[in-house]
């Protein structure tokens, strides 16, 4: 008996993926038996992500969610890159029925996963759970290093602080960041995107007050102090490394990170970005040198540990990101 593919339902899981500043830089289209994920170039971060590698990492996260959702309805999915001459490079997800496929258990954690930006508890992650995180993905050209020892933290902390200092001394960075802040629940809910400040442990406030706070009370020094406290309570770090610095590997890295994040969620482990050393090119080179990563491109640094849950960030609806529709396909 044939069954239909609800493409829009699959896309509804794609939009649950993480993205830099929660910009949600994606648009979706449905073509034949494929879902295409296009970069939304109106939502780039030119200061912190000048080459759009973080954007394509986000698209990879969205693609992995769709692959997981497809497995639940008996479909296998294959992700490829479309090099188009007349538009930006986009992702193709080809879907086909597969009688042998079983639901990937990580699907159950898509709606529970969140970037938890609060302070973590002083609690270590058991060895078996660390092993599960390390084994959460297997994608060509992507590797991950984990750091849980104090000597590792001594290496990473100065680079994290240097990256943060560089960014908060850059007025263009601060302006870009604040542009994506949503200072009240009503604003965050209405816009459906951005960094709702309550997700970062800050109270709701009118936008004009929030902008004053960011301008006069947040500085490189205050951020350095905050990060030292957060690092001191972190159980470990995960550094994602791409073999090559190109779109194919950025997308694969996003898929790997999404599987890592969902596995962490399954294990009750919180995680959040600490990506400043990877975002600042000069600091990234120091990171490569300190950890002897050459060849290799460290593009994502994540802290993990245990914490209370935070409010969930908002997402735009499928209607807002779907640029074409089609009738359900029967397979």
pLDDT, position 56: 98
Q: How far is CA 289 from CA 42, 98, 156, 160, 293, in A?
A: 35, 45, 12, 15, 7
pLDDT, position 329: 54
Instruction: Give helix then strand counts, H and E, for the chain.
Output: 12, 12
pTM: 0.95
Cα radius of gyration (the chain): 20
**Mean pLDDT of each 10-residue bin along the chain, 331 residues long:** 79 98 97 93 97 98 98 95 83 93 96 96 96 98 97 97 97 94 94 93 81 81 95 97 97 98 98 97 97 95 96 96 71 50
Q: Residue 5: beta bridge partners? A: 329
pLDDT, position 284: 97
Q: Are 310 and 10 in contact (CB under 8 A)?
A: no
pLDDT, position 159: 98
Give ∠ CA 83-86-90 in degrees, rounded to 5.
40
């Amino acid at each position: 008996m044939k069954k239909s593919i609800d493409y829009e339902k699959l896309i509804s899981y794609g939009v649950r993926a993480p993205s830099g500043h929660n910009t949600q830089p994606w648009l979706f289209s449905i073509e034949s038996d494929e879902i295409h994920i296009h970069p939304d170039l109106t939502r780039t971060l030119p200061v912190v992500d000048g080459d759009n590698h973080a954007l394509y990492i986000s698209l990879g996260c969205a693609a992995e969610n769709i692959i997981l959702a497809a497995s639940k309805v008996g479909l296998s999915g294959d992700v490829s890159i479309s090099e188009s001459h007349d538009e930006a490079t986009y992702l193709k997800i080809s879907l086909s029925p597969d009688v042998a496929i079983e639901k990937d258990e990580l699907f159950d954690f898509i709606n529970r996963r969140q970037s938890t930006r609060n302070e973590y508890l002083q609690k270590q992650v058991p060895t078996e759970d660390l092993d599960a995180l390390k084994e959460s993905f297997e994608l060509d050209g992507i590797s991950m290093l984990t750091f849980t020892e104090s000597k590792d933290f001594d290496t990473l902390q100065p680079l994290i602080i240097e990256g943060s200092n560089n960014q908060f001394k850059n007025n263009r960075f601060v302006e870009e960041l604040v542009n994506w802040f949503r200072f009240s629940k009503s604003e965050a809910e209405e816009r459906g995107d951005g960094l709702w400040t309550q997700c970062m442990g800050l109270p709701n406030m009118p936008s004009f007050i929030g902008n004053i706070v960011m301008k006069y009370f947040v500085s490189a020094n205050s951020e350095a102090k905050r990060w030292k406290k957060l690092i001191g309570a972190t159980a470990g770090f995960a550094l994602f490394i791409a073999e090559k610095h190109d779109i194919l590997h950025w997308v694969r890295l996003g898929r790997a990170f999404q599987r890592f994040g969902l596995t962490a969620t399954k294990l009750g482990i919180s995680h959040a970005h600490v990506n400043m050393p990877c975002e600042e090119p000069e600091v990234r080179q120091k990171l490569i040198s300190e950890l002897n990563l050459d060849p290799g491109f460290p593009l994502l640094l994540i802290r993990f540990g245990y914490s209370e849950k935070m409010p969930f960030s908002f997402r735009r609806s499928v209607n807002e990101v779907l640029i074409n529709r089609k009738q359900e396909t029967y397979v």
